[in-house]
Structure formats: structure tokens, C-alpha cells
């Protein structure tokens, strides 16, 4: 009886869904205890309207939706959705807020669409997601932090996606992930650190990738074997040829090798008698064995190679490092016969690398060869000392000859009762001359003009400071016309006047010059030219 009542209630609920909350052409029914709306392959181009708000499962797979717009399910009132199936809808874009406020969503299938990258930002609105299917999308790379918001995700399916690269932190945040499907992609390698972070993983599908089983897969093999991660179908090696077709977990660790790579100097030049040290640097996993050879003959460490190119020659070979190794061949006291190409050859399980260094032997001149190293250093030091001394002498001579102008503050002077001021720039001596000239004029201004004209014509090149005073008393002196015209400047000359009232005028010449030599000062003082006028007084003093 109770069973009959339950069935009746289920039938009535299904009828109510079909009448009040089911879009046209869609199937609305209870399935596995969930209110389900199935609109798969109905040719719809958007999320249909009229779906009951209590719907928990929505299947719109196989429809040409192309995009899932922002708040598509929120605007349809479908906040109770737990499972959404959007596979094979030719989706090219999933909006950042497409699943806004779907806090109950635990299962999302957006597989086999046209997405070229993981729509990571779209998952921030559904943190309770448990299962995510991205398989079948043309995704070439899994970026870092692609799933960082999905801390409750347990199943991640990314099969058949064309993935070639998985970034080191692509799976960060997936602490609860138990099953990972990466099969059917284009992966050749996978860094061990990428998958080691998946601490809760119980199973992985990695088959169907063209794995290159070299040293880069060592960490992944250790993770698979020691971590006991179940792989129903183990990954199989595609490259290199020596391990092709062998499951990764059965390949010996020494076979997961990377062929050596390296570099060395192409040429080296040393003087005869000097030691030569030729180095090559190699990188290989596992460690490569390094050998040196010349002209096809192997050079053995500290062993006489009397049958080799250089009879009775001994060599020292020094190695540092393992997987990253530096090997140095030392040739003591190089001779002419040591010139030639020295080959560094490194090999391991994966292959071989080699490079040659051409050694040139140089000869020094006879004079230089007679000097040892200490003698050469002493000779260079002596030359440097001589050069420094010559430079110091040149600086001292230059300072003695160079003129140094010293600014002296202005100070009032007095010449014959007339005050004047001048700029004293003399370093050692200052000469002051007081001269008296006889001016033929009634006006003091004319006499001053004469004095200026006289100075301009006679002492223009001297750094003089001039102050002119005309005395009050008059003096009558007879002059001939020739004397008048020749002695006075044209602007002052009075022509043929037989007599004129003359006014004695005095002017001072303050001459300064610079010298640190007192003798030179005295010579300059003696050579001072005062002109045709009467020299009344000469003063000279040290500054």
C-alpha cells in the first residue's frame, strides 16, 4: 500500500512538471532521484525559458549554443542546478559569470566543444564542483593555476585535447583530486613536480601520448612506481627508438637518459714553454664519460703516449662535477709539436657529443725570452715611476709660470690730495705714478679731456686706473704754433695763439701686475713709461 502511494506521488509530480515547468520539445522527469530536464539535440540556440526553478539536472548537449552568456542560468531562475551537461554544443566562449550563484553545482560537462583554453574564471562561481569534463576541446596548453579555485574537485577529465604543455603549477589547488585523465593528447614529457602535488590521486590515465622517455620523465616514472598511482593502461614510450613500445614503468632508470650537450673554446694560443689548459663543459643525465683525443689517439691521464703523435708526452686531466661536468686537459711546458686540434668527447647511454679546440703555439722574441717574469714586472714598474716623476715636474713648472689673479678689496687712495679708488689685482708689486701735465685751456673740463686723450693714445694697453685733478692756479706759458699743434690733441689745440693760460693738471696712474718674482717687479717698475709730461712721484709697495 505504501509503495503504491509513493508511485502515485512520483507520477503526479512528473505530470505537474510537464504541465507547469517543461519547455517544448524537452523531456522533464525524475531520474535517479533528481528533477531532470533533457533538451539534448533539440536545435536550440540558448538556454530555454520556462524550466522549473526546482530543476536539478539540465542536459542541453548537442545544441548549437556557441556561447554561454553571463548569468545565463541565474536569469532563468535555475539556482538549484547540481548537474549541467553542455557537451558538443560548439561552444567557443564561456562567460566569466556564466555559472553565477550556482553554489550547488557539483557536475559540469563542457567537453567536445571549441574551447582553446580552460575557462578558469568561470569556475569561481561554483566552488563545490566535484567533476569537471573538458575532454575533446582544442586546448594546447594547461596554464598555471588553471583550477586553483576547485579545491573540492575529485574528477578531472582532459582527454583528447591536443595538449602539448602542462605548466609547472597547472594543478595547484586540486588537493582533493582522485582521478585525472590526460590520455590521448600530444604530451611528450611531464615534469614530476606537476603531478607530485596531487597527493590524493588514486588513478591516472596517461596513455595515448607520444611520450619521449628520456631524463625528463625520470620524476614521473618514480611518481608512478613509488607512489603506486594506478594506471589501468600504462603510458608507453614513443621515443627514443631504443625504448619505443616499452611501458614507462618497465623502462630501467638508466635508460631514461638525455644525450650530452656541451661547449668548449674553438681556438687557444700559448707561448712555447708555458702550460696550456684546455677545458670543455658538458651536461648529461646520467653522467657522461669524457675523453680527450688528438689526431684520433686517446690521451690518458699522466700516462706516457710514446706511440701517440707526441712521443713521450704526459698529460694531466682534471674533472669537476657529475651531470654538469667540467673536464680540463693540462699540457705542461708546451712545445712546437703540441700544436694541433684536441677533441673533447662525452658519451652516455643516450648518445655522444664532441668538440675540438685548435691549439696554437707562439714564439717570443730573443730579448724578451732572456727576461724572466719578475724582471719584466720590475722593468714595467721602473718605466711607470719615471713617467710619474716627469708629470710631477711638468705640473710644478706650469704652476710657476701660470698667472694667478687675486682679488683685492677696493680701498680709497689719495694722490696729491685727490681721492680715487682702484681694483688691486697685483700679486707682488703695485706701482703708482703721479704725473703733472700742462694744459692750455681756460676750462678744467678741457684739461681732463686732454688727460683722457693722452692716456688713450699712450697707455691704452696698460691696466691703469686714472683719476685727474685740475689745480686752481693759472700759469701763462708762451707756445709756438708748432708746439701747440704737435703737443696737444687736435680737439684741444688752439692754433697760432702766441700765449695761453695754462692750468697744471695732475693725474695718477695706478699700474698693477702679477708676478711671484720680485726681480721681475723691479724691472717692470723701472721700465714704466710716463710720456712727455713731468713725473712728480713714484711709489711701489708689496701687496
Residue 23: phi and psi, rounded to 5, are: -65, 160
Higher pLDDT pick, 131 / 525: 131
CA distance 235 to 205: 8
Q: What is the pLDDT of residue 379?
A: 80
pLDDT at 371 (0 to 100): 58
Does 415 have pLDDT greater than 50? Answer: no
Q: What is the pLDDT of residue 483?
A: 37
pLDDT score, position 278 = 92
| Domain at 258-305+312-362: CATH code | 2.60.40.10
pLDDT tier for residue 239 given thresholds of 50, 70 and 90: very high
pLDDT of residue 2: 54
- Which residue did the predictor score with more confidence, 271 or 313? 271
Query: How much is the pLDDT for 280?
Result: 93
| Predicted structure pTM score | 0.58
User: What is the rounded average pLDDT of the residues 121-140?
Assistant: 93
Residue 514 contacts residue 408 (beta carbons within 8 Å): no
User: Quick check: 356 pLDDT over 60?
Assistant: yes
Residue 160's nearest CA partner among 205, 224, 93, 213 is: 205
Q: Which three cell numbers stand for residue 529?
A: 713709461
Highest mean pLDDT, choosing among 11-15, 185-189, 371-375? 185-189
Does an H or E element contain 282, and which? strand 276-285
Q: How many residues does the chain have?
A: 543
Taking the CA atoms of the chain, what radius of gyration do you get in angstroms? 54
Using H for helix, E for strand and C for coil, what is the string for 155-171? EEECCCCCCCEECCCCC
State mean pLDDT over 324-353: 91
Tens digits of residue pLDDT in 134-173? 999 999 999 999 998 899 999 999 999 999 999 988 999 8
Among residues 294, 337, 296, 331, the alpha carbon closest in space to that of 316 is found at: 331
Residue 3: per-residue pLDDT: 47
Task: Say yes or no to pLDDT of 508 above 60.
Answer: no
- Residues ≥6 apart with Cβ < 8 Å to 454: 437, 489, 531, 533
Delimiting residues of CATH 3.80.10.10 domain(s) in the chain: 18-255
**Lowest model confidence (mean pLDDT) among 50-54, 191-195, 538-542:** 538-542
Phi then psi for 452, rounded to 5 degrees? -65, -40
Q: Give the model's confidence band at 180: pLDDT under 50 very low, under 70 low, under 90 confident, else very high.
A: very high
Pull the grid cell for residue 180: 585525472
pLDDT at 523: 52
CA distances for 165 relative to 101, 161, 515, angstroms: 32, 11, 85
Torsion over CA: 97, 99, 104, 107 (sign)? negative
Q: At 63, list the grid cell.
A: 545544441
Give whole-number Cα distances, 294 to 274, 300, 336, in Å: 19, 11, 15
* Residue recorded with cell 613500445: 245
Binning pLDDT at 50, 70 and 90, where does residue 439 land?
Answer: low
Bigger pLDDT: 523 vs 367: 523
Mean pLDDT of 334-357: 91
pLDDT digits 0-9 by tens, 444-493: 566 666 655 655 555 444 444 344 444 434 433 333 444 333 433 433 33
Of the two residues 113 and 461, the one the predictor is more confident about is 113
Instruction: State residue 504's pLDDT score.
Output: 55
Quote the percentage of the chain above a pLDDT of 70: 65
Exposure string of 353-368, with b = 16+ CB inside 10 Å and e = fewer, is bbbbbebebeeeeeee
pLDDT value of position 67: 93
Alpha-helical runs (H) found in 469-538: 481-487, 518-526
CB 47 within 8 A of CB 72: yes
> CATH 2.60.40.10 in the chain, residues?
258-305+312-362
Is 18-255 a domain of CATH 3.80.10.10? yes
Most confident of 186-200, 296-310, 450-464: 186-200
Average pLDDT over the chain, rounded to an integer:
75
- Considering only residues 200 and 401, tell me which one the structure prediction assigns the higher pLDDT: 200
- Inform me whether the pLDDT recorded for 506 exceeds 80: no
**Residue pLDDT, tens place only, 252-297:** 888 899 899 999 999 999 999 888 999 999 999 989 999 999 988 8
Rounded Cα distance between 317 and 109, Å, is: 63
pLDDT digits (tens, 9 = 90+) for 47-81: 888 899 999 999 999 999 999 999 999 998 999 99
In this model, does residue 193 exceed pLDDT 80? no
pLDDT at position 381 is 86
| pLDDT recorded at residue 450 | 60
pLDDT at 221: 87
pLDDT > 90? residue 378: no
Cβ–Cβ contacts within 10 Å for residue 480, how many? Answer: 11
Choice among 16-25, 77-86, 233-242, 507-516 with the minimum mean pLDDT? 507-516
pLDDT for the residue numbered 153: 94
In sequence order, the β-bridge partners of residue 108 are 84, 132
pLDDT at 372: 63
Task: Tell whether the model's pLDDT for residue 408 goes beyond 50.
Answer: no
Q: What is the per-residue pLDDT for 519?
A: 56
pLDDT at position 115 = 95
- Does position 406 have pLDDT exceeding 70, yes or no? no
Amino acid at each position: 500500500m505504501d509503495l503504491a502511494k509513493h508511485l502515485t506521488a512520483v507520477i503526479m509530480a512528473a505530470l505537474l512538471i510537464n504541465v507547469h515547468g517543461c519547455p517544448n520539445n524537452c523531456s522533464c522527469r525524475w531520474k535517479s532521484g533528481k528533477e531532470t530536464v533533457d533538451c539534448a539535440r533539440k536545435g536550440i540556440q540558448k538556454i530555454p525559458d520556462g524550466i522549473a526553478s526546482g530543476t536539478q539536472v539540465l542536459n542541453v548537449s548537442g545544441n548549437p549554443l556557441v556561447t554561454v552568456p553571463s548569468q545565463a542560468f541565474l536569469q532563468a531562475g535555475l539556482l538549484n542546478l547540481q548537474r549541467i551537461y553542455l557537451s558538443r554544443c560548439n561552444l567557443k566562449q564561456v562567460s566569466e559569470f556564466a555559472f553565477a550563484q550556482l553554489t550547488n553545482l557539483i557536475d559540469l560537462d563542457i567537453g567536445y566543444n571549441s574551447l582553446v583554453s580552460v575557462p578558469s574564471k568561470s569556475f569561481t562561481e561554483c566552488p563545490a564542483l566535484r567533476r569537471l569534463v573538458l575532454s575533446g576541446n582544442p586546448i594546447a596548453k594547461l596554464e598555471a593555476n588553471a583550477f586553483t579555485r576547485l579545491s573540492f574537485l575529485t574528477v578531472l577529465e582532459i582527454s583528447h585535447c591536443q595538449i602539448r604543455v602542462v605548466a609547472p603549477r597547472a594543478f595547484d589547488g586540486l588537493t582533493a583530486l582522485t582521478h585525472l585523465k590526460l590520455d590521448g593528447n600530444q604530451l611528450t614529457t611531464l615534469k614530476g613536480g606537476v603531478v607530485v602535488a596531487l597527493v590524493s590521486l588514486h588513478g591516472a590515465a596517461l596513455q595515448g601520448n607520444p611520450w619521449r622517455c628520456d631524463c625528463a620523465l625520470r620524476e614521473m616514472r618514480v611518481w608512478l612506481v613509488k607512489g603506486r598511482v594506478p594506471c589501468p593502461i600504462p603510458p608507453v614510450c614513443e621515443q627514443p627508438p631504443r625504448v619505443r613500445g616499452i611501458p614507462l614503468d618497465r623502462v630501467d632508470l638508466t635508460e631514461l637518459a638525455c644525450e650530452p650537450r656541451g661547449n668548449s673554446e674553438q681556438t687557444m694560443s700559448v707561448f712555447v714553454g708555458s702550460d696550456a689548459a684546455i677545458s670543455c663543459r658538458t651536461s648529461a643525465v646520467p653522467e657522461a664519460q669524457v675523453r680527450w683525443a688528438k689526431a684520433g689517439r686517446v690521451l690518458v691521464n699522466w700516462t706516457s703516449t710514446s706511440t701517440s703523435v707526441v712521443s713521450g708526452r704526459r698529460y694531466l686531466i682534471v674533472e669537476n662535477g657529475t651531470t654538469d661536468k667540467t673536464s680540463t686537459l693540462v699540457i705542461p711546458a708546451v712545445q712546437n709539436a703540441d700544436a694541433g686540434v684536441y677533441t673533447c668527447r662525452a658519451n652516455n647511454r643516450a648518445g655522444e657529443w664532441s668538440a675540438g679546440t685548435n691549439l696554437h703555439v707562439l714564439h717570443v722574441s730573443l730579448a724578451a725570452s732572456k727576461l724572466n717574469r719578475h724582471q719584466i714586472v720590475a722593468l714595467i714598474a721602473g718605466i711607470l715611476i719615471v713617467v710619474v716623476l716627469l708629470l710631477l715636474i711638468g705640473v710644478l713648472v706650469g704652476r710657476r709660470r701660470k698667472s694667478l689673479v687675486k682679488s683685492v678689496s677696493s680701498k680709497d687712495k689719495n694722490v696729491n690730495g685727490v681721492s680715487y679708488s682702484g681694483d688691486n689685482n697685483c700679486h707682488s708689486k703695485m706701482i703708482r705714478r703721479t704725473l703733472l701735465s700742462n694744459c692750455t685751456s681756460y676750462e678744467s673740463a678741457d684739461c681732463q679731456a686732454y688727460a683722457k686723450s693722452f692716456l688713450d693714445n699712450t697707455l691704452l694697453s696698460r691696466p691703469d686706473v686714472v683719476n685727474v685733478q685740475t689745480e686752481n692756479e693759472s700759469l701763462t706759458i708762451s707756445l709756438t704754433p708748432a708746439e701747440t699743434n704737435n703737443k696737444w690733441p687736435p680737439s684741444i689745440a688752439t692754433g697760432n695763439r702766441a700765449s695761453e693760460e695754462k692750468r697744471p693738471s695732475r693725474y695718477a696712474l695706478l699700474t698693477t701686475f702679477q708676478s711671484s718674482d720680485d726681480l721681475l717687479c723691479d724691472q717692470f717698475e723701472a721700465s714704466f713709461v710716463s710720456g712727455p709730461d713731468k713725473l712728480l712721484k713714484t711709489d711701489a709697495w708689496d701687496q
